[in-house]
Amino acid sequence: MNAIEHIHSHGRFSGKAGLHRIKALCNALENPQDKLKFIHLAGTNGKGSTATMIASVMQKAGYKTGLFTSPFLVKFNERIKINGQMINDFDLERLTNKVSQAEKTIKIPDGEKIGEFEFVTALAFLYFLEQKCDIVVLETGLGGSFDATNIIKKPEVAVITPISLDHTQVLGDTLSEIASTKAGIIKPNCKAVTAFGQKDEVLSVLKAVKPDIIEPEQIFKSQYDLNGASFIFKNEEYRISMIGKHQIQNAQTALQTIFELKNIGWNIPESAIKQGLKCAKICGRMEKIYKNPLIFLDGGHNIDGVNSIANTVKTILNDRKLHLIIGMVSDKDIKSCINVLNSLSDSIIITEPNNPRAMDVYELAKYFNKKVQIFKNSYDAFRKALEIPKEDVVIICGSLYLIGEAESFFNSFT
């Protein structure tokens, strides 16, 4: 069994909610997380983009910067990066063996086990410590309070990105419940930043936990197009390469986080901030993957993510015919997402990501009130996209699993 197979063999869920398993595992590894400094992010949408922007700025400022995100799109190693470079296969294999040996020595309650995310989190801590990272940008996997990443002590800054309804079967079925769980990453006496424009019920929960939580200032003179966006924040002009109005909100959050880091002593020149923001890129978020026709990939898989796609279409792509390729997993708010996507598109192709949780194409087709084309195999759907008129636009969306498959397919052309 290779490293990836061994990691996946742990499964998604491991037992009763809590940090007792990750504490036992990290203790057996001599608690590498206690020797690192972190920026810790939780939220429903925008975590990956915001984390990538922050990490890019810190790297440009000269700091050796770790980045821990999930999920991956094409290669598992994407989840653990230092200065933009994925962990290599040798180190992944070596550290998998080391964590496995530690796992054999620990005691946890009967009927429980170390889950995949707990295993990978411990492995990432080890790697970042070995490589002597100055700072690690750490994204939660699911939730906050009992997320394995929350074993860390006080972060330099805790960051809460936009919160909406998602994973309700685990986190709660109201915004207040979900916000309370996400706010669990805010430690006593640590700096905390929240995204601008959080819903009132979310903001009230966050302020109850952290009365002085910092909201970014409003941005001004924002402009966005197919090459990214520019805007004014704190009387300075910034440029990002990520596409869509929602990415300006993510940049706001990243910038405020950077300013809080500066306030506590981190040396981050303005030139590093501007360069880091401009060159920050993330796969699968309104990513241009093909030129003729223009094809975008977007992993928006909940209602806020789908609304971001809709906003981008209306503001940047409204002069072109739009064709959607959609595949979804069955545990999402499919009806709400489909209502938005239905009204956007001139044609719809339905397909199925290669994942056990994928929704059957014929079941998904029932949600649409217009004629659809169906391709059980996602690669057949992608080939169909290449036949779209060159002046039109294709957006592939609905599931990050589908986006990963699209990345593999279209990257084979480059």
Q: Are residues 167 and 307 in the same domain?
A: no
Cα 73–chain centre separation: 11
Among 18-32, 137-151, 191-205, 358-372, which stretch is predicted with the lowest mean pLDDT? 358-372
pLDDT digits 0-9 by tens, 285-329: 889 999 889 999 998 767 878 888 888 888 888 778 989 999 988
Q: Are residues 357 and 271 in the same domain?
A: no
With beta carbons less than 8 A apart as the criterion, state whether 171 and 142 touch.
yes
pLDDT of 364 over the 80 cut: yes
CATH code, domain carrying 126: 3.40.1190.10
Averaged confidence pLDDT in the chain? 91
Distance CA 83, CA 57 (A): 10
What amino acid is encoded at 180 in this protein? S
Residue 307, in any domain of the structure:
yes
Q: Which residues contact 328 (CB under 8 A, 6 or more apart)?
A: 301, 334, 337, 358, 359, 364, 398, 399, 402
Q: Are residues 204 and 292 in the same domain?
A: no
Residue 233, in any domain of the structure:
no
Q: Are residues 133 and 209 in the same domain?
A: yes
pLDDT digits 0-9 by tens, 102-142: 999 999 998 899 999 999 999 999 999 999 999 999 999 98
Distance CA 179, CA 169 (A): 14
Q: Are residues 358 and 322 in the same domain?
A: yes
Q: Which residues contact 60 (CB under 8 A, 6 or more apart)?
A: 271, 272, 273, 275, 276, 279
Q: How confident is the model at residue 414 (pLDDT cuts 50, 70, 90)?
A: low
Q: Are residues 156 and 265 in the same domain?
A: yes
Distance CA 369, CA 259 (A): 48
Residue 84, in any domain of the structure:
yes
Residue 356, in any domain of the structure:
yes
Q: Are residues 194 and 108 in the same domain?
A: yes
Cis amide linkage into residue 71, ω under 30° from 0: yes
pTM for the full predicted model: 0.92
pLDDT of 375 over the 70 cut: yes
pLDDT of 74 over the 80 cut: yes
Q: Are residues 397 and 316 in the same domain?
A: yes
* pLDDT confidence of residue 399: 85
Q: C-alpha angle with apex 240: 235 to 242, nearest 5 degrees? A: 145
Q: Are residues 112 and 193 in the same domain?
A: yes
Residue 300, in any domain of the structure:
yes
Range of the domain at 31: 3-216+242-279
Q: CA-based Rg of the chain, rounded to a whole angstrom? A: 21
pLDDT of 2 over the 60 cut: yes
Q: Which carries the bigger pLDDT value, residue 223 or residue 331?
A: 223
Q: Are residues 260 and 319 in the same domain?
A: no
Nearest CA to 254 out of 338, 155, 157 is that of 157
Residue 42, in any domain of the structure:
yes
- Measure CA of the first residue to CA of the last residue in the chain; give whole Å: 32
Q: Are residues 174 and 146 in the same domain?
A: yes
| Mean pLDDT value across residues 252-269 | 97
Q: Are residues 255 and 334 in the same domain?
A: no
* pLDDT confidence of residue 167: 52
Distance CA 265, CA 157 (A): 12
Residue 234, in any domain of the structure:
no
| Mean pLDDT value across residues 382-388 | 94
Q: How confident is the model at residue 245 (pLDDT cuts 50, 70, 90)?
A: confident
Among 8-22, 29-43, 199-213, 239-253, which stretch is predicted with the lowest mean pLDDT? 8-22
With beta carbons less than 8 A apart as the criterion, state whether 96 and 123 touch.
yes
Residue 228, in any domain of the structure:
no
**Total tally of structural domains belonging to the chain:** 2
* pLDDT confidence of residue 358: 87
DSSP string, 327-370: --BTTS-HHHHHHHHHHH-SEEEEEE-SSTTBPPHHHHHTT-SS
Distance CA 95, CA 312 (A): 41
Distance CA 196, CA 205 (A): 15
* pLDDT confidence of residue 13: 73
